[in-house]
Structures are given as C-alpha cells and as structure tokens.
A and B are shown apart, each in its own frame.
Chain A
Amino acid sequence: MNLIFEFINQNLQMIYILILMIFVGVEIIGHVPAVLHTPLMSGANALSGVVIIGAILVMLDTEPDNIIALSFGFVAVVLGILNVVGGFVVTDRMLEMFKKKK
C-alpha cells in the first residue's frame, strides 16, 4: 500500500496528465462523423509513432560501443519514423480526396 502511495506521489504530475488526456481524447473524438473514421484512425495511428522520441532518446543515451542496444535502437527509430511519416502521408492522401468534393 505504501508503495502505491509513494508511486503516486513521485509521479503526480504525470498522473495528472494521464487522467486529463484521457478525457481530452474522449471529448475530442466523441462525435466524429463516420465519414472521417478512417482518416481519424490513420491520423491517430501516425501520432502513436510518437514513440520514436523514446527510440531517439535511447540511442542518444547509448554508448557507441554497445552494439546490441545501438542496433535495437536503430530498428526502433526506423520503425517509429515509418509509422509517423507513412501515417501522416497516407492520411493526407485520403483527406485530399475528400476535399475535391466541391
């Protein structure tokens, strides 16, 4: 029990963000028309590539001679940026089609 209190106190700021963001996410996306579900999903998918920042941080923090960590980090950055760039580009392509309606 003490451990949990300690954990919450140590990470109070992040827990605030966590909870607030859950509500922000729910509020923002709550009433999106079905037409936009696919672009919204692929846009959100691109955002989940934010994990790439973690991958970059890992690499920055790795010693140049730690080959295993470096190659893992390398793959993580490649996959993360693939998620980001691919996701945003494909979302843009979809939305471009919607635009032509008028």
Chain B
Amino acid sequence: MGESLGLIYLISTVSYIIGLKFLGHPKTARKGNIISASGMAIAILGTIFLYDKEVATSIYLFIWLAIIIGSIAGWIIAKKVEMTKMPELVSMFNGMGGASAALIGLIEFQKNVGNITASTTIVISIIIGSISLSGSLIAWAKLNGILWKDIRIPRYNLINNLLILGVLVFGFFIIWSGTESNTLIYLMFFLALFYGILFVIPIGGADMPVVISLLNSLTGIAAAFTGFLFHNMVMLAGGILVGSAGFILTFAMCHAMNRPLAHVIFGVFGQDNNDLAVIPSAKNKRGIVKKITPSDAAILMNYSQKVIIVPGYGLAVAQAQHIIHEIEVFLTNKGIDVKYAIHPVAGRMPGHMNVLLAETHVEYDKLVEMEHINSEFQSTDVVLVVGANDVVNPAAHNAPSSPIYGMPILKVENAKHIIVNKRSMKPGYAGIENELFYNQKTSMLFGDAKSALTKLLHELKSM
C-alpha cells in the first residue's frame, strides 16, 4: 500500500508543475488549473485510503466530516464572491492555509520533543504559518474597508523588529532547550500572530498587491516545512513551488512600482508620507483645476479618433466596469479606436484590472499593458482616466523628492486631452498630490465613477 501512495504523490507533484506551467498561458490556463486540482484530489484521497496503519473508524468519520464541511464552505464562498472582492478572497483563503500549517505544528510539537530536526521544522512552520494567518486576515480587513486607515505606531520599525527578534529567540530557545512546555510554544505562536498583525497594519493600500503575493508565498513555505516534517514529498514540492511563484510575483510587483521589497515591508514609503504629502514642486505648479460636464466630455470623445481608457481601483469600487465597457462598445461602433491601458499594479492585487474587465467581456486584445501602450498616448485624442491616480502621476518622472519617483507610470500627459473621473480632489493611496490634475490639457469629471459614466454614456447616446 505504502508504495502506491508514493507513486500517487509523484503523479500529484508532476501535475502541480504542469498545471502551473499551463496557468502561464491564456489558452491553456483553465486546463492547467484543472490539472493541478485533480493532482490535489488524488493526493488527498490517496492519503486517506492508502494509509498503512490501523485507524479507528471514528477518526475517518471526523476526517470526512471536516473535508465535506470545508469543501462546501469553500465552494459556496468561491462561487458567490464578486470579482471586485477577489483580492480579499485570495488573502482570506491564504490565511486559512497558513492557519492549517500552524495548527499542525502545534499538534506535532509534543510528539517531537528532543528531536532537533523535527522541532526546528515545527517551530518554523508555526512561526511562518501564524504570520501568514494574521497577516492575511489583516490584509483581508484592510481590503474590505474594515480597517481603512494605515495605522501608524510610533517607533514602529523598532517595535516590529524587536518583536520578530523576540519570536526567533523564543523559537531558538524552544528548539535548543528541548522543552516540553506547551506554554512556551503557545506563547511563541501568539507572538508570531501579533507580529503578522503589526507587519501588515501599516502597509499602504497601494502596496497591497505586493503584500498579498508575499503572504501567499509564506503560506507555501509553511506548507513546505510541514512537508519536511512528515518527509512528505508532495507537500514539500507543492509548498516550494507556491513559495517561489509567490516570490517572483512579489518581485514583479515591486519592480512595477520601482520600490525595493524592504521598503514595502518596513514601510519606508508610509513613514515619510506626512512630510511629503504635499510635494513642493506640485504645490508651485498648482494651477487651476478645470471641470468638465458629462455633455462636454461626450462631445470631446465623440469627435475623436482614438480614445484610451485608464481604469483604476476607483472603477472597481464603484462597480462601473460594465458601464465603461458599454461606453467602449458605443465608441468602437462609431469607428473610434478604443483601448484600455493596464498598469501592472492597477487594482489591489496583481492583474486585478484584467479580471474585472474580462468579467464584463471586454475583448482580450483591447487590454494593453503599460510597456506597449505608453508610445501610443502621443497619437491619442482623449484619455479617460477612471478612478486611477498614482499610476498616472507625472511626479514619478519629474519630482525626485516624490515618494513615487521612479515608478513606471502610464504617460497619459502626452495625449491631446485628458479627462479624469474622480470623486474629489483627494490624493490617491500614496497620499500625494497629482499635478496631472492641474495640467492645462486635463479636465476633471467629478463624481462617483458609476453615476458619472452613466451620464456620459447617456450624453453620448443622445448625440
């Protein structure tokens, strides 16, 4: 029996690799997901049915009960969630995985006292799993708007670094002393949970894509350590795959924002925030803000040849993705060339905008990534910016004192006209002024994205 289980784990591991590989290409992605899911299913079933020791029936009942409850809950949540809520959902699921790893560590601790290798893996998987759990839940709360403000604690870096140091010292002591004390291991567990909270709480909304990928990666690593503990190859391989995938996405996101990972984690961005909230250069250049009515905006768009839409998170919050698609279809039918410019960190998780727009059946080739579309703005008549701010802030190019200096942006200021839809003049997540709004070519279409765009569409149709 044991041998066939090994074979099943091998097949399952290969299916993860192939599945992930397929996920990387639009055509095969769905198949890839199904392949990984099947691999997971056979690994789980194999573990239950091919276990080679005597197990009481009651335990089997418990396991099946747990699997049925969790599957139904997961299925329902996944089917019901709105696409705008995707980042929240992924962080929540991620936290569950982390919690699972931490719990396993807590149970296994007593069984492995004195075995240095085993207790090291246990301690590490508890630490990483619990950081991932509490971090993900805080990320979930922040994304959900329950914890809206970026909370700042004085001497934050010092406290945080001391805390993680404390957790590590605790862990080291537990391993070294070979203690049997449950109190100590639980204390370490709670300290690590607390660290996870402090770790995510000050991180700004603009950095959320980075944090979510990083936490995802951590859960993978926690799973891998658990695999190490059980000498279980499928857990080890699967966990490491997720871990390295998460790290790559994390770095890709950091690259898209031109910020070193350490700055995101240690919140350098946020710390200087207060001083830099108003950059001198933006203040000096501050001109007059021009407002535009929906009917004027409609005229402007109606007589143009090329329109580029820049969607941001504001679009998602207002649930305006369907209306923007209607506007796009309407303009396209009039013979106007319409495209979407997608910034890599638009939205609250990597690639979030693509998912939202795909949901409304926007054609695939209309979504253009930043590198390809930046050269097109020059020949564009109207750029319609909807609920985006920092990703079109020219300060990233021309204000070295700005915290977002160096971040690649969509060069919308090269277009002939720029219409910005925003609710108010409030700065974006980065908390900095945007001189684009004071540009002579820019007109502001104030209002909630959904209502403003509905009016715009109405005006377009009545023309």
For B59, the chain A residues whose CB sits under 8 A away are 59-60, 62, 64, 70
Which A-chain residue is minimally distant from B369 (CB atoms)? A34
CA distance A50 to B227 in the complex (A): 9
For A30, the chain B residues whose CB sits under 8 A away are 248
Interface SS of chain B: helix, strand, loop or mixed? helix
- CB distance A55 to B100 under 8 Å? yes
Task: Indicate whether B367 reaches chain A with its CB closer than 8 angstroms.
Answer: yes
Task: Indicate whether B163 reaches chain A with its CB closer than 8 angstroms.
Answer: no
- CB distance B244 to A88 under 8 Å? no
For B261, the chain A residues whose CB sits under 8 A away are none
- A37-B351, A101-B363 in contact; A28/B238 too (CB < 8 A)? no
- CB-contacts of B242-282 with A (<8 A): 242-246, 248-249, 252
- CB distance A48 to B216 under 8 Å? yes
Which A-chain residue is minimally distant from B12 (CB atoms)? A50
Task: Indicate whether B355 reaches chain A with its CB closer than 8 angstroms.
Answer: yes
CA distance A94 to B116 in the complex (A): 44
- A45-B93, A77-B63 in contact; A26/B212 too (CB < 8 A)? no
Task: Indicate whether A75 reaches chain B with its CB closer than 8 angstroms.
Answer: yes
Task: Indicate whether B387 reaches chain A with its CB closer than 8 angstroms.
Answer: no
Q: How far is the CB of B353 from chain A (nearest CB, A)?
A: 9
- A contacts with B, residue count (CB < 8 A): 80
Name which of B43-51, B193-201, B410-418, B455-463 contacts chain A: B43-51
CA distance A10 to B243 in the complex (A): 23
Cβ-Cβ contact count across A and B, 8 Å cutoff: 361
For A44, the chain B residues whose CB sits under 8 A away are 20, 216, 220, 241-242, 245-246
Task: Indicate whether B437 reaches chain A with its CB closer than 8 angstroms.
Answer: no
CA distance A10 to B118 in the complex (A): 12
- CB distance A90 to B117 under 8 Å? no
- CB distance B104 to A51 under 8 Å? yes
- CB-contacts of B228-244 with A (<8 A): 228-244
- CB distance B226 to A83 under 8 Å? no
CA distance A32 to B253 in the complex (A): 13
CA distance A6 to B396 in the complex (A): 52
Q: How far is the CB of A54 from chain B (nearest CB, A)?
A: 4
Q: How far is the CB of B373 from chain A (nearest CB, A)?
A: 12
CA distance A44 to B221 in the complex (A): 12
- CB distance B104 to A50 under 8 Å? no
- CB distance A45 to B70 under 8 Å? no
Q: How far is the CB of B227 from chain A (nearest CB, A)?
A: 7
CA distance A101 to B129 in the complex (A): 39
Task: Indicate whether B301 reaches chain A with its CB closer than 8 angstroms.
Answer: no
Q: How far is the CB of A20 from chain B (nearest CB, A)?
A: 9
- CB distance B78 to A72 under 8 Å? no
Task: Indicate whether A5 reaches chain B with its CB closer than 8 angstroms.
Answer: no
Which B-chain residue is minimally distant from A51 (CB atoms)? B223
Name which of B290-298, B311-319, B342-350 contacts chain A: B342-350
Ranked nearest first, the 6 interchain pairs of A and B with the lowest CB-CB distance are A25-B244, A37-B351, A86-B74, A81-B70, A37-B350, A85-B74
Excluding A41-B351, A43-B36, A101-B364, 6 further A-B contacts by CB distance (< 8 Å) are A35-B26, A36-B354, A45-B97, A81-B44, A87-B90, A87-B93
Interface residues of A (CB under 8 A from B): 3, 7, 10-11, 14, 17-18, 21-22, 24-26, 28-62, 64, 69-70, 72-101
